[in-house]
């Protein structure tokens, strides 16, 4: 039993170490998402700069708080206060000077130039009718920001609705409402990820306590085993002594009655000692069996809990490393994969090709047919890119309408053949949206890893080759 318990403890220590590593990875993803969230909100506040003089100082405070991150209660509390004051300021239309500062000592700049949204809406500090930017440009920029952010599953419906609203024409009031909803969604998504991480940390704390209890049970079992060992030896010595005493006394006995009485006495004494020892051993075994059963139940419960946690971590990992629109791996997954492929290429000296793709005239498709049609283009292009690649190959949505493909073991000629097959298939495909035919094409820049190359150098060559393909007329592949 002791060996089995020790083995279980060792297995749990290994599982605990693995869970700690998974928690570290989850923390890194959460930190990356926080950084991404802060960047998106900062860009939105810059875009809204000049929209309303009474709002600008509060937007400035929010930007300064976000520079420090959201990793403490003070920052989050101040951000909540600023959000409330921002809302009240917006509803009352009051001047900035009448609003109490939320805690920031940032100097107010009342004569700021209008931001992106201010220019679009034609509102600034002193001018009502400035030149307006194309609404499609702004909506497209916000859509790109949203699609780069990994939204938790429970917010996917709200996320899709926001993307749908951003894909539609809207007046000033509606557009402003969409901007506010976007900021609120991103904040709620951030809070949800923080709560999920906190739950994971609490579970690991619970698991730590359980493992400590398991260790204590193991120690108790070992101590009990050690404690019974001397008793067993003492009992065996006592029995031996009793038989030796019986042998000596029988040799000295001269009469039959005396001999019978002597043997009976000695045997009764031995039987009493055997019974006493048996009772002690039985009690010890029952106690040990009860402890072992309790330990087994606890181990089984921990197995269920860790199995559920492992499943959640696997789902979170897959979601964090995949693009929600196309289902392809995302930029995070690319960073992870390229960090594996480059050392493998350096070690085995096998060819490794990188292909960088970009959908042709994608902005024009969004402007003419709407963002829903643009999303459909990205989905269909993704299907074609992933259709014929090998299990050892890799393709991801790098960002926007740009994709990256890695082909381990593929020479320039082999990579060119793959690229041309994909390019031709996409060009010949096309599809209909709202009764209109939408033609698709894609350009590709490719480069082969050469001795001494870094991933950044190869990507730069492939990106320059892609630019050349664009300037030469698009719908073609160029080697860099």
Mapped onto helix, strand or coil, the DSSP state of residue 327 is coil
Q: d(Cα 131, Cα 276) in Å, to the nearest integer?
A: 102
8-state DSSP, 155:
G
Q: Cα(377)–Cα(319) distance, rounded to whole angstroms?
A: 22
What is residue 359's three-state secondary structure? strand
Alpha carbons 120 and 174: distance in angstroms, whole number: 14
Instruction: Work out the average pLDDT over 86-106.
Output: 44
**Domain boundaries of the chain, sorted by first residue:** 2-201, 229-320, 331-479
- Asked if residue 290 has pLDDT above 70, the reply is yes
Higher pLDDT, 12 or 460: 460
Q: Mean per-residue pLDDT for 8-18?
A: 69
Q: What is the pTM of this model?
A: 0.49
Neighbours of 13 (CB within 10 A): 13
- Dump pLDDT digits (tens) for 240-268: 676 667 666 666 666 666 667 777 776 77
Q: What gap in Å lies between CA 480 and CA 468, rounded to an integer?
A: 9
Q: How confident is the model at residue 434 (pLDDT cuts 50, 70, 90)?
A: confident
Taking the C-alpha atoms of residue 59 and residue 113, their distance in angstroms, rounded to an integer, is: 13
Q: Is 331-479 CATH 3.30.70.270?
A: yes
**Token pair belonging to 311:** 């499943």
Q: How many CB atoms lie within 10 A of CB 96?
A: 16
Residues 136-169: pLDDT tens digits?
667 677 776 666 666 666 676 677 777 777 766 6
CA-closest candidate to residue 193, choices 33, 39, 338: 33
Q: Which residue has the higher pLDDT, 383 or 87?
A: 383
pLDDT for 51: 60
Tell me which residue of 155, 194, 191, 197 sits closest to 26, measured CA to CA.
197
Statement: residue 59 has pLDDT above 60: yes
CB neighbour burial string for 141-150, b if at least 16 within 10 angstroms, e if fewer: ebbebbbbbb
Largest CA distance in the chain: 135
């Amino acid at each position: 039993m002791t060996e089995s318990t020790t083995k279980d403890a060792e297995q749990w220590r290994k599982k605990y170490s693995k869970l700690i590593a998974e928690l570290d990875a989850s923390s890194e993803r959460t930190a990356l998402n926080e950084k991404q969230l802060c960047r998106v909100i900062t860009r939105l506040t810059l875009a809204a700069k000049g929209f309303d003089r009474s709002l600008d100082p509060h937007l400035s405070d929010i930007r300064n708080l976000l520079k420090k991150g959201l990793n403490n209660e003070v920052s989050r509390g101040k951000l909540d206060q600023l959000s409330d004051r921002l809302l009240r300021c917006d509803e009352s239309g009051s001047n900035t000077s009448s609003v109490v500062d939320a805690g920031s000592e940032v100097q107010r700049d009342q004569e700021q130039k209008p931001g992106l949204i201010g220019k679009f809406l034609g509102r600034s500090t002193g001018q009502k009718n400035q030149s307006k930017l194309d609404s499609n440009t702004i909506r497209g920029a916000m859509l790109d920001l949203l699609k780069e952010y990994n939204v938790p599953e429970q917010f996917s419906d709200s996320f899709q609705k926001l993307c749908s609203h951003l894909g539609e024409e809207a007046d000033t009031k509606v557009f402003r409402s969409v901007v506010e909803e976007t900021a609120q969604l991103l904040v709620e998504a951030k809070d949800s990820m923080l709560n999920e991480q906190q739950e994971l940390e609490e579970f690991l704390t619970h698991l730590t306590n359980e493992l400590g209890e398991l260790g204590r049970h193991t120690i108790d079992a070992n101590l009990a085993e050690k404690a019974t060992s001397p008793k067993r030896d003492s009992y065996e010595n006592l029995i031996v002594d009793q038989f030796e005493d019986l042998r000596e006394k029988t040799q000295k006995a001269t009469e039959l009655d005396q001999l019978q009485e002597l043997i009976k006495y000695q045997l009764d004494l031995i039987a009493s000692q055997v019974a006493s020892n048996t009772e002690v051993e039985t009690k010890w075994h029952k106690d040990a069996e009860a402890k072992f059963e309790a330990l087994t139940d606890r181990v089984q419960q921990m197995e269920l809990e860790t199995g559920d946690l492992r499943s959640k971590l696997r789902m979170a990992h897959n979601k964090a490393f995949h693009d929600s629109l196309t289902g392809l791996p995302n930029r995070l997954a690319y960073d992870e994969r390229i960090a594996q492929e480059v050392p493998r290429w350096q070690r085995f000296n096998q060819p490794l090709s990188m292909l960088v793709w970009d959908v042709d005239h994608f902005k024009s498709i969004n402007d003419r047919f709407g963002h829903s049609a643009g999303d459909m283009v990205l989905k269909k292009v993704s299907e074609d890119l992933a259709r014929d690649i090998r299990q050892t190959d890799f393709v991801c949505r790098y960002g926007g309408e740009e994709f990256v493909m890695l082909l381990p073991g593929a020479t320039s000629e082999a990579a060119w053949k793959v690229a041309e097959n994909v390019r031709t298939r996409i060009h010949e495909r096309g599809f209909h949206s709202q009764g209109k035919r939408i033609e698709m094409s894609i350009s590709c820049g490719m480069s082969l890893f050469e001795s001494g190359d870094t991933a950044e150098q190869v990507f730069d060559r492939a990106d320059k080759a892609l630019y050349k393909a664009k300037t030469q007329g698009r719908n073609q592949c160029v080697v860099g």
